Structure 1
Amino acid sequence: MIRSDAPILLEICDLHACVEHKAILKGVNLTIRAGEIHAVMGRNGSGKSTLSKVLAGHPAYQVTAGTVRYRGENLLDLPPEQRARIGLFLGFQYPIEIPGVSNLEFLRVATNARRLEMGDEELDTFAFEDVVRDKLAVVQMDPAFLERSVNEGFSGGEKKRNEILQMALLDPLVAILDETDSGLDIDALRIVAGGVNHLATAENATLLITHYQRLLDVITPDYVHVMAAGRILRTGGKELALELEERGYDWVDQELAVLEAAAQGRTPVEVG
Protein backbone atom coordinates (compact mmCIF):
# COMPACT_ATOMS: atom_id res chain seq x y z
CA MET A 1 0.00 0.00 0.00
CA ILE A 2 1.38 3.40 -1.02
CA ARG A 3 1.50 5.93 1.81
CA SER A 4 1.21 9.52 0.65
CA ASP A 5 2.36 10.67 4.09
CA ALA A 6 5.61 8.67 3.99
CA PRO A 7 8.75 10.82 4.11
CA ILE A 8 10.29 11.87 0.81
CA LEU A 9 13.70 10.28 0.41
CA LEU A 10 14.60 11.55 -3.07
CA GLU A 11 13.13 14.50 -4.94
CA ILE A 12 14.29 15.27 -8.49
CA CYS A 13 13.06 18.54 -9.99
CA ASP A 14 13.57 19.60 -13.63
CA LEU A 15 16.93 17.84 -13.83
CA HIS A 16 19.06 18.53 -16.91
CA ALA A 17 22.45 16.93 -17.49
CA CYS A 18 24.97 16.44 -20.27
CA VAL A 19 28.05 14.38 -21.05
CA GLU A 20 30.80 15.70 -23.32
CA HIS A 21 28.57 18.73 -24.04
CA LYS A 22 25.74 16.52 -25.30
CA ALA A 23 22.45 17.04 -23.49
CA ILE A 24 21.02 13.75 -22.21
CA LEU A 25 18.61 14.58 -19.38
CA LYS A 26 16.14 17.28 -20.39
CA GLY A 27 13.89 17.92 -17.44
CA VAL A 28 13.45 14.83 -15.23
CA ASN A 29 10.93 15.09 -12.39
CA LEU A 30 10.57 12.26 -9.89
CA THR A 31 9.63 11.97 -6.22
CA ILE A 32 10.44 8.81 -4.27
CA ARG A 33 9.04 8.19 -0.80
CA ALA A 34 10.01 5.67 1.85
CA GLY A 35 8.52 2.24 1.24
CA GLU A 36 8.21 2.69 -2.52
CA ILE A 37 9.61 0.74 -5.46
CA HIS A 38 9.87 2.67 -8.73
CA ALA A 39 10.70 1.17 -12.11
CA VAL A 40 12.07 3.27 -14.98
CA MET A 41 11.73 1.74 -18.43
CA GLY A 42 12.61 2.98 -21.91
CA ARG A 43 14.60 2.39 -25.04
CA ASN A 44 18.38 2.50 -25.22
CA GLY A 45 19.50 6.13 -25.23
CA SER A 46 16.45 7.42 -23.38
CA GLY A 47 18.54 8.61 -20.42
CA LYS A 48 17.89 5.86 -17.87
CA SER A 49 21.50 4.97 -17.09
CA THR A 50 22.53 8.62 -17.27
CA LEU A 51 19.99 9.36 -14.54
CA SER A 52 21.53 6.69 -12.31
CA LYS A 53 25.06 7.98 -12.88
CA VAL A 54 24.09 11.59 -12.22
CA LEU A 55 22.44 10.60 -8.95
CA ALA A 56 25.54 8.65 -7.92
CA GLY A 57 27.83 11.58 -8.82
CA HIS A 58 29.74 10.21 -11.81
CA PRO A 59 32.30 12.91 -12.72
CA ALA A 60 31.78 12.57 -16.48
CA TYR A 61 28.21 13.91 -16.22
CA GLN A 62 27.51 17.60 -15.70
CA VAL A 63 24.26 18.85 -14.22
CA THR A 64 23.22 21.96 -16.13
CA ALA A 65 19.88 22.73 -14.43
CA GLY A 66 17.49 21.44 -11.81
CA THR A 67 17.81 20.09 -8.28
CA VAL A 68 18.09 16.75 -6.50
CA ARG A 69 17.30 16.61 -2.80
CA TYR A 70 18.02 13.56 -0.66
CA ARG A 71 16.08 13.68 2.60
CA GLY A 72 15.90 17.43 2.13
CA GLU A 73 19.64 17.84 1.54
CA ASN A 74 21.13 19.07 -1.74
CA LEU A 75 22.55 15.84 -3.13
CA LEU A 76 24.37 17.55 -6.00
CA ASP A 77 26.65 19.38 -3.56
CA LEU A 78 28.06 16.10 -2.24
CA PRO A 79 30.95 14.05 -3.66
CA PRO A 80 30.16 10.47 -4.75
CA GLU A 81 31.70 8.84 -1.67
CA GLN A 82 29.61 10.98 0.68
CA ARG A 83 26.44 10.14 -1.24
CA ALA A 84 27.23 6.47 -0.65
CA ARG A 85 27.98 7.01 3.04
CA ILE A 86 24.63 8.71 3.70
CA GLY A 87 22.68 5.88 2.13
CA LEU A 88 22.54 6.17 -1.67
CA PHE A 89 23.49 2.91 -3.40
CA LEU A 90 24.10 2.26 -7.10
CA GLY A 91 24.09 -1.28 -8.45
CA PHE A 92 25.93 -1.29 -11.77
CA GLN A 93 24.71 -2.77 -15.03
CA TYR A 94 28.26 -3.98 -15.68
CA PRO A 95 30.08 -4.42 -12.33
CA ILE A 96 33.82 -4.01 -12.82
CA GLU A 97 36.53 -6.43 -11.79
CA ILE A 98 39.20 -5.23 -9.33
CA PRO A 99 42.12 -7.68 -9.49
CA GLY A 100 44.22 -7.93 -6.34
CA VAL A 101 41.55 -6.49 -4.03
CA SER A 102 39.99 -9.05 -1.71
CA ASN A 103 36.21 -9.13 -2.00
CA LEU A 104 35.94 -9.64 1.76
CA GLU A 105 38.14 -6.65 2.57
CA PHE A 106 36.42 -4.47 -0.03
CA LEU A 107 33.04 -5.25 1.51
CA ARG A 108 34.36 -4.67 5.06
CA VAL A 109 35.85 -1.25 4.29
CA ALA A 110 32.67 -0.12 2.49
CA THR A 111 30.47 -1.42 5.29
CA ASN A 112 32.53 0.30 7.97
CA ALA A 113 32.38 3.62 6.13
CA ARG A 114 28.60 3.37 6.12
CA ARG A 115 28.49 2.25 9.76
CA LEU A 116 30.58 5.22 10.88
CA GLU A 117 28.20 7.57 9.07
CA MET A 118 25.30 6.01 10.99
CA GLY A 119 27.15 6.31 14.30
CA ASP A 120 27.94 2.60 14.67
CA GLU A 121 31.29 1.07 15.57
CA GLU A 122 33.59 -0.33 12.93
CA LEU A 123 33.77 -4.09 12.59
CA ASP A 124 37.10 -5.88 12.73
CA THR A 125 37.81 -8.71 10.31
CA PHE A 126 36.50 -11.45 12.59
CA ALA A 127 33.28 -9.66 13.52
CA PHE A 128 32.66 -8.71 9.90
CA GLU A 129 33.03 -12.31 8.73
CA ASP A 130 30.14 -13.27 11.00
CA VAL A 131 27.98 -10.45 9.60
CA VAL A 132 28.77 -11.08 5.94
CA ARG A 133 28.16 -14.82 6.17
CA ASP A 134 24.64 -14.12 7.45
CA LYS A 135 24.03 -11.84 4.46
CA LEU A 136 25.31 -14.44 1.97
CA ALA A 137 22.07 -16.35 2.44
CA VAL A 138 20.11 -13.43 0.96
CA VAL A 139 21.75 -14.02 -2.44
CA GLN A 140 22.54 -17.74 -2.05
CA MET A 141 26.24 -17.03 -2.54
CA ASP A 142 29.12 -19.42 -1.83
CA PRO A 143 31.41 -18.08 0.95
CA ALA A 144 34.38 -18.97 -1.29
CA PHE A 145 33.62 -15.85 -3.35
CA LEU A 146 34.66 -13.72 -0.37
CA GLU A 147 38.25 -14.90 -0.71
CA ARG A 148 38.53 -13.94 -4.39
CA SER A 149 39.33 -10.56 -5.91
CA VAL A 150 36.34 -8.28 -6.42
CA ASN A 151 34.26 -9.74 -9.28
CA GLU A 152 37.37 -11.28 -10.89
CA GLY A 153 36.34 -14.38 -12.80
CA PHE A 154 32.75 -14.06 -11.63
CA SER A 155 29.96 -14.92 -14.05
CA GLY A 156 27.39 -12.27 -14.89
CA GLY A 157 24.97 -13.69 -12.35
CA GLU A 158 27.66 -13.91 -9.67
CA LYS A 159 28.62 -10.26 -10.21
CA LYS A 160 25.01 -9.19 -9.83
CA ARG A 161 24.61 -11.27 -6.68
CA ASN A 162 27.76 -9.66 -5.32
CA GLU A 163 26.14 -6.25 -5.96
CA ILE A 164 23.05 -7.24 -3.98
CA LEU A 165 25.34 -8.57 -1.22
CA GLN A 166 26.91 -5.09 -1.06
CA MET A 167 23.42 -3.63 -0.87
CA ALA A 168 22.51 -5.97 2.00
CA LEU A 169 25.62 -4.95 3.94
CA LEU A 170 25.40 -1.20 3.29
CA ASP A 171 21.69 -0.97 4.18
CA PRO A 172 21.00 2.02 1.88
CA LEU A 173 17.94 4.24 2.15
CA VAL A 174 17.72 4.61 -1.64
CA ALA A 175 18.98 1.78 -3.85
CA ILE A 176 19.35 2.50 -7.58
CA LEU A 177 19.69 -0.70 -9.59
CA ASP A 178 20.79 -0.05 -13.16
CA GLU A 179 19.56 -2.97 -15.28
CA THR A 180 20.39 -5.45 -12.57
CA ASP A 181 18.48 -8.07 -14.62
CA SER A 182 20.77 -7.61 -17.65
CA GLY A 183 22.46 -10.86 -18.69
CA LEU A 184 20.80 -13.00 -16.03
CA ASP A 185 19.31 -16.41 -16.68
CA ILE A 186 16.00 -17.37 -15.08
CA ASP A 187 17.52 -18.84 -11.91
CA ALA A 188 19.93 -15.94 -11.35
CA LEU A 189 17.12 -13.43 -11.96
CA ARG A 190 14.99 -15.16 -9.34
CA ILE A 191 17.82 -15.07 -6.78
CA VAL A 192 18.76 -11.44 -7.42
CA ALA A 193 15.15 -10.26 -7.46
CA GLY A 194 14.45 -12.26 -4.31
CA GLY A 195 17.32 -10.44 -2.61
CA VAL A 196 15.93 -7.06 -3.66
CA ASN A 197 12.49 -7.99 -2.31
CA HIS A 198 14.01 -9.23 0.94
CA LEU A 199 15.85 -5.94 1.49
CA ALA A 200 12.86 -3.67 0.71
CA THR A 201 11.32 -2.15 3.85
CA ALA A 202 8.93 0.62 4.83
CA GLU A 203 11.95 2.84 5.60
CA ASN A 204 13.87 2.54 2.32
CA ALA A 205 13.13 2.83 -1.39
CA THR A 206 14.27 1.21 -4.62
CA LEU A 207 14.66 2.65 -8.12
CA LEU A 208 14.83 -0.10 -10.74
CA ILE A 209 16.09 0.70 -14.22
CA THR A 210 15.16 -2.01 -16.67
CA HIS A 211 14.27 -2.79 -20.27
CA TYR A 212 12.17 -5.80 -19.51
CA GLN A 213 8.85 -6.47 -17.86
CA ARG A 214 10.10 -9.90 -16.72
CA LEU A 215 11.90 -8.34 -13.73
CA LEU A 216 8.62 -6.79 -12.64
CA ASP A 217 7.02 -10.23 -12.54
CA VAL A 218 9.22 -10.87 -9.50
CA ILE A 219 9.59 -7.37 -8.05
CA THR A 220 6.25 -5.56 -7.99
CA PRO A 221 6.71 -1.80 -8.45
CA ASP A 222 4.47 0.85 -6.96
CA TYR A 223 5.14 3.06 -9.97
CA VAL A 224 6.36 2.46 -13.51
CA HIS A 225 7.85 5.40 -15.42
CA VAL A 226 8.51 5.46 -19.15
CA MET A 227 11.55 7.54 -20.05
CA ALA A 228 12.18 8.98 -23.51
CA ALA A 229 14.39 11.75 -24.88
CA GLY A 230 15.76 12.56 -21.44
CA ARG A 231 12.50 13.00 -19.57
CA ILE A 232 9.78 10.92 -17.95
CA LEU A 233 7.03 10.72 -20.53
CA ARG A 234 4.41 8.70 -18.68
CA THR A 235 3.85 7.25 -15.19
CA GLY A 236 1.53 4.44 -14.15
CA GLY A 237 1.35 1.20 -12.23
CA LYS A 238 2.50 -2.28 -13.19
CA GLU A 239 -0.13 -2.32 -15.93
CA LEU A 240 2.00 0.23 -17.81
CA ALA A 241 4.86 -2.28 -17.96
CA LEU A 242 2.46 -4.91 -19.30
CA GLU A 243 1.27 -2.42 -21.93
CA LEU A 244 4.87 -1.83 -23.02
CA GLU A 245 5.40 -5.57 -23.28
CA GLU A 246 2.38 -5.83 -25.56
CA ARG A 247 2.67 -2.63 -27.61
CA GLY A 248 6.36 -1.84 -27.63
CA TYR A 249 7.59 1.76 -27.79
CA ASP A 250 6.11 2.99 -31.08
CA TRP A 251 3.63 5.18 -29.20
CA VAL A 252 6.58 6.98 -27.59
CA ASP A 253 7.58 8.47 -30.96
CA GLN A 254 4.05 9.76 -31.45
CA GLU A 255 3.91 11.42 -28.03
CA LEU A 256 7.34 12.97 -28.50
CA ALA A 257 6.24 14.35 -31.84
CA VAL A 258 3.21 15.94 -30.20
CA LEU A 259 5.40 17.49 -27.50
CA GLU A 260 7.84 18.82 -30.08
CA ALA A 261 4.99 20.30 -32.08
CA ALA A 262 3.61 22.02 -29.00
CA ALA A 263 7.06 23.41 -28.16
CA GLN A 264 7.29 24.87 -31.69
CA GLY A 265 3.81 26.33 -31.59
CA ARG A 266 2.35 23.83 -34.06
CA THR A 267 -0.79 21.77 -33.52
CA PRO A 268 -0.56 17.96 -33.33
CA VAL A 269 -2.34 17.55 -36.66
CA GLU A 270 0.67 19.22 -38.31
CA VAL A 271 3.09 16.61 -36.96
CA GLY A 272 4.73 14.53 -39.67
Structure 2
Amino acid sequence: MNKSTKALLIIIISFGAYFAFDAIFFKDIRKWLFDRTNQLGISHILTYLITGIPLFSVTLLIGKRTDFFRNLGIDKSIMKGLLFALACTLPMYVGFSFIFEFNSDISINTILIGVVSAGFFEELYFRGFLFGLPFRKTKLGFLLSVIFGALYFGSLHLYQSTELDELLGIFLVTFLGGIFFAWAFAEWNFNIWIPIFLHMLMNLAWELFSVSDNALGGIYANVFRLLTIALVIVLTVLYKKRKGLKLTINKKSLSFQKS
Protein backbone atom coordinates (compact mmCIF):
# COMPACT_ATOMS: atom_id res chain seq x y z
CA MET A 1 0.00 0.00 0.00
CA ASN A 2 1.55 3.29 -1.09
CA LYS A 3 1.67 6.41 1.06
CA SER A 4 -1.15 8.18 -0.79
CA THR A 5 -3.58 5.25 -0.52
CA LYS A 6 -2.71 4.74 3.14
CA ALA A 7 -3.38 8.40 3.93
CA LEU A 8 -6.74 8.29 2.13
CA LEU A 9 -7.77 5.14 3.98
CA ILE A 10 -6.88 6.69 7.34
CA ILE A 11 -8.84 9.86 6.49
CA ILE A 12 -11.95 7.88 5.48
CA ILE A 13 -11.87 5.63 8.56
CA SER A 14 -11.36 8.56 10.93
CA PHE A 15 -14.22 10.53 9.40
CA GLY A 16 -16.41 7.45 9.78
CA ALA A 17 -15.41 7.31 13.45
CA TYR A 18 -16.24 11.01 13.80
CA PHE A 19 -19.61 10.49 12.08
CA ALA A 20 -20.54 7.62 14.42
CA PHE A 21 -19.29 9.43 17.53
CA ASP A 22 -21.19 12.58 16.56
CA ALA A 23 -24.43 10.75 15.70
CA ILE A 24 -24.46 8.69 18.89
CA PHE A 25 -23.08 11.03 21.54
CA PHE A 26 -23.53 14.64 20.37
CA LYS A 27 -26.91 15.28 22.04
CA ASP A 28 -25.91 13.53 25.27
CA ILE A 29 -22.62 15.40 25.55
CA ARG A 30 -24.30 18.73 24.83
CA LYS A 31 -26.99 18.03 27.44
CA TRP A 32 -24.33 17.07 30.00
CA LEU A 33 -22.43 20.30 29.32
CA PHE A 34 -25.61 22.39 29.32
CA ASP A 35 -26.65 20.97 32.71
CA ARG A 36 -23.37 22.26 34.11
CA THR A 37 -23.03 25.57 32.26
CA ASN A 38 -26.64 26.54 31.51
CA GLN A 39 -25.25 27.96 28.24
CA LEU A 40 -26.68 26.22 25.16
CA GLY A 41 -24.51 27.98 22.58
CA ILE A 42 -21.27 27.41 24.49
CA SER A 43 -22.24 23.78 25.16
CA HIS A 44 -22.88 23.29 21.44
CA ILE A 45 -19.44 24.64 20.51
CA LEU A 46 -17.65 22.57 23.17
CA THR A 47 -19.48 19.44 22.00
CA TYR A 48 -18.31 20.03 18.43
CA LEU A 49 -14.74 20.24 19.74
CA ILE A 50 -15.12 16.97 21.64
CA THR A 51 -16.71 15.00 18.78
CA GLY A 52 -13.98 16.28 16.47
CA ILE A 53 -11.24 14.53 18.46
CA PRO A 54 -10.93 11.66 15.90
CA LEU A 55 -10.30 14.21 13.15
CA PHE A 56 -7.77 16.17 15.18
CA SER A 57 -5.95 12.95 16.10
CA VAL A 58 -5.63 11.80 12.49
CA THR A 59 -4.46 15.24 11.36
CA LEU A 60 -1.60 14.84 13.83
CA LEU A 61 -0.86 11.31 12.58
CA ILE A 62 -0.79 12.12 8.87
CA GLY A 63 1.88 14.80 9.07
CA LYS A 64 4.36 16.19 11.54
CA ARG A 65 2.92 17.55 14.76
CA THR A 66 4.32 20.94 13.87
CA ASP A 67 2.23 20.84 10.67
CA PHE A 68 -1.11 20.36 12.48
CA PHE A 69 -2.39 23.90 11.99
CA ARG A 70 -1.00 24.14 8.46
CA ASN A 71 -2.67 20.89 7.40
CA LEU A 72 -6.08 22.30 8.38
CA GLY A 73 -5.35 25.79 7.05
CA ILE A 74 -5.66 27.41 10.48
CA ASP A 75 -2.19 28.92 10.29
CA LYS A 76 -3.15 31.33 7.49
CA SER A 77 -4.21 35.00 7.87
CA ILE A 78 -7.43 35.45 9.87
CA MET A 79 -7.64 39.12 8.89
CA LYS A 80 -7.43 38.33 5.17
CA GLY A 81 -10.27 35.83 5.55
CA LEU A 82 -12.44 38.30 7.45
CA LEU A 83 -11.87 41.29 5.15
CA PHE A 84 -12.41 39.23 1.99
CA ALA A 85 -15.63 37.73 3.39
CA LEU A 86 -16.92 41.14 4.49
CA ALA A 87 -16.39 42.59 1.01
CA CYS A 88 -18.03 39.64 -0.73
CA THR A 89 -21.08 39.33 1.53
CA LEU A 90 -21.89 43.05 1.39
CA PRO A 91 -24.55 42.54 -1.36
CA MET A 92 -26.47 40.18 0.94
CA TYR A 93 -26.55 42.65 3.84
CA VAL A 94 -27.48 45.64 1.68
CA GLY A 95 -30.05 43.74 -0.36
CA PHE A 96 -31.63 41.94 2.59
CA SER A 97 -31.93 45.19 4.57
CA PHE A 98 -34.10 46.67 1.81
CA ILE A 99 -36.25 43.63 1.11
CA PHE A 100 -36.64 41.74 4.39
CA GLU A 101 -37.58 42.76 7.91
CA PHE A 102 -35.04 42.61 10.71
CA ASN A 103 -35.38 39.41 12.72
CA SER A 104 -36.23 40.64 16.22
CA ASP A 105 -36.26 37.06 17.56
CA ILE A 106 -32.54 36.51 16.98
CA SER A 107 -30.66 35.49 20.14
CA ILE A 108 -27.08 34.92 21.25
CA ASN A 109 -27.69 31.17 21.10
CA THR A 110 -28.89 31.48 17.50
CA ILE A 111 -25.67 33.29 16.60
CA LEU A 112 -23.41 30.89 18.50
CA ILE A 113 -25.07 27.78 17.03
CA GLY A 114 -26.23 28.87 13.57
CA VAL A 115 -23.42 31.28 12.75
CA VAL A 116 -20.24 30.75 14.80
CA SER A 117 -20.44 27.00 15.36
CA ALA A 118 -21.87 26.13 11.94
CA GLY A 119 -19.44 28.34 10.06
CA PHE A 120 -16.33 27.34 11.98
CA PHE A 121 -16.75 23.62 12.53
CA GLU A 122 -18.46 22.73 9.26
CA GLU A 123 -15.65 24.40 7.33
CA LEU A 124 -12.90 23.01 9.55
CA TYR A 125 -14.24 19.44 9.41
CA PHE A 126 -15.64 19.31 5.87
CA ARG A 127 -13.33 21.61 3.97
CA GLY A 128 -10.19 21.64 6.11
CA PHE A 129 -10.18 17.93 6.90
CA LEU A 130 -12.46 15.92 4.59
CA PHE A 131 -11.62 17.86 1.41
CA GLY A 132 -8.29 19.49 2.21
CA LEU A 133 -6.35 16.47 3.44
CA PRO A 134 -7.25 14.11 0.54
CA PHE A 135 -6.57 16.87 -2.00
CA ARG A 136 -3.25 17.84 -0.46
CA LYS A 137 -2.00 14.50 0.86
CA THR A 138 -3.14 12.05 -1.86
CA LYS A 139 -3.26 11.92 -5.66
CA LEU A 140 -6.99 12.60 -5.79
CA GLY A 141 -8.01 15.65 -7.78
CA PHE A 142 -10.56 18.29 -6.84
CA LEU A 143 -13.72 16.48 -7.92
CA LEU A 144 -12.86 13.17 -6.24
CA SER A 145 -11.69 14.95 -3.08
CA VAL A 146 -14.75 17.17 -2.74
CA ILE A 147 -17.63 14.93 -3.80
CA PHE A 148 -18.17 12.88 -0.63
CA GLY A 149 -17.98 15.88 1.69
CA ALA A 150 -20.35 17.89 -0.52
CA LEU A 151 -22.88 15.03 -0.60
CA TYR A 152 -22.71 14.61 3.16
CA PHE A 153 -22.84 18.37 3.71
CA GLY A 154 -25.97 18.56 1.57
CA SER A 155 -27.65 15.68 3.39
CA LEU A 156 -27.05 17.33 6.78
CA HIS A 157 -29.49 20.10 5.86
CA LEU A 158 -32.39 17.87 4.82
CA TYR A 159 -33.98 18.19 8.27
CA GLN A 160 -35.10 21.70 7.27
CA SER A 161 -38.15 20.54 5.30
CA THR A 162 -40.51 17.62 4.66
CA GLU A 163 -41.66 18.77 1.21
CA LEU A 164 -39.99 16.82 -1.61
CA ASP A 165 -39.42 19.81 -3.90
CA GLU A 166 -37.96 21.85 -1.02
CA LEU A 167 -35.78 18.93 0.05
CA LEU A 168 -34.32 18.66 -3.44
CA GLY A 169 -33.73 22.42 -3.54
CA ILE A 170 -32.11 22.48 -0.10
CA PHE A 171 -29.88 19.55 -1.00
CA LEU A 172 -28.80 21.13 -4.29
CA VAL A 173 -28.04 24.51 -2.69
CA THR A 174 -26.00 23.05 0.17
CA PHE A 175 -24.29 20.44 -2.05
CA LEU A 176 -23.12 23.15 -4.45
CA GLY A 177 -22.26 25.31 -1.43
CA GLY A 178 -19.90 22.60 -0.22
CA ILE A 179 -18.13 22.58 -3.57
CA PHE A 180 -18.00 26.38 -3.67
CA PHE A 181 -16.45 26.67 -0.19
CA ALA A 182 -13.89 23.97 -1.06
CA TRP A 183 -12.94 25.84 -4.24
CA ALA A 184 -12.47 29.10 -2.31
CA PHE A 185 -10.40 27.27 0.32
CA ALA A 186 -8.07 25.80 -2.30
CA GLU A 187 -7.70 28.96 -4.38
CA TRP A 188 -6.74 31.08 -1.38
CA ASN A 189 -3.74 28.90 -0.63
CA PHE A 190 -5.72 26.66 1.70
CA ASN A 191 -6.60 29.47 4.08
CA ILE A 192 -9.50 27.93 6.01
CA TRP A 193 -10.48 31.36 7.35
CA ILE A 194 -11.74 32.32 3.87
CA PRO A 195 -14.59 29.75 3.80
CA ILE A 196 -15.11 30.03 7.57
CA PHE A 197 -15.87 33.75 7.47
CA LEU A 198 -17.81 33.47 4.20
CA HIS A 199 -19.95 30.77 5.76
CA MET A 200 -20.39 32.67 9.02
CA LEU A 201 -21.30 35.99 7.41
CA MET A 202 -23.65 34.40 4.88
CA ASN A 203 -25.41 32.57 7.71
CA LEU A 204 -25.51 35.75 9.80
CA ALA A 205 -27.21 37.67 6.99
CA TRP A 206 -29.78 34.87 6.78
CA GLU A 207 -30.38 35.06 10.53
CA LEU A 208 -30.39 38.87 10.95
CA PHE A 209 -33.22 39.30 8.46
CA SER A 210 -36.41 37.28 8.01
CA VAL A 211 -35.15 35.67 4.82
CA SER A 212 -36.33 32.06 5.02
CA ASP A 213 -36.87 29.16 7.41
CA ASN A 214 -34.46 26.98 5.46
CA ALA A 215 -31.31 27.14 3.32
CA LEU A 216 -33.23 27.26 0.04
CA GLY A 217 -34.68 30.75 0.30
CA GLY A 218 -36.75 32.59 -2.30
CA ILE A 219 -35.96 34.44 -5.51
CA TYR A 220 -34.73 37.67 -3.91
CA ALA A 221 -32.68 35.85 -1.30
CA ASN A 222 -30.92 33.83 -3.97
CA VAL A 223 -30.31 36.85 -6.22
CA PHE A 224 -28.19 38.47 -3.51
CA ARG A 225 -26.63 35.16 -2.49
CA LEU A 226 -25.58 34.61 -6.11
CA LEU A 227 -24.12 38.13 -6.22
CA THR A 228 -21.97 37.23 -3.22
CA ILE A 229 -20.85 33.98 -4.86
CA ALA A 230 -20.06 35.83 -8.08
CA LEU A 231 -18.00 38.38 -6.15
CA VAL A 232 -16.02 35.61 -4.47
CA ILE A 233 -15.21 34.00 -7.80
CA VAL A 234 -14.42 37.23 -9.68
CA LEU A 235 -12.29 38.75 -6.92
CA THR A 236 -10.42 35.48 -6.42
CA VAL A 237 -9.59 35.16 -10.11
CA LEU A 238 -8.58 38.84 -10.38
CA TYR A 239 -6.41 38.60 -7.26
CA LYS A 240 -4.54 35.54 -8.56
CA LYS A 241 -4.11 37.09 -11.99
CA ARG A 242 -2.72 40.27 -10.46
CA LYS A 243 -0.28 38.25 -8.36
CA GLY A 244 0.72 36.16 -11.36
CA LEU A 245 -0.61 32.98 -9.73
CA LYS A 246 -2.22 30.09 -11.56
CA LEU A 247 -5.59 28.76 -10.45
CA THR A 248 -5.16 25.79 -8.13
CA ILE A 249 -8.25 24.07 -9.54
CA ASN A 250 -7.70 23.53 -13.25
CA LYS A 251 -7.95 20.77 -15.86
CA LYS A 252 -4.84 19.07 -14.52
CA SER A 253 -6.11 18.93 -10.93
CA LEU A 254 -9.76 18.00 -11.50
CA SER A 255 -9.59 14.21 -11.42
CA PHE A 256 -6.13 13.04 -10.41
CA GLN A 257 -2.93 14.85 -9.58
CA LYS A 258 0.52 13.93 -10.76
CA SER A 259 3.14 13.10 -8.17
Q: Please tell me the TM-score bracket, short chain as reference.
A: under 0.3
- Asked which structure has the greater CA Rg, the reply is 1
User: Larger helix proportion, structure 1 or 2?
Assistant: 2
TM, length-normalised to structure 1: 0.26
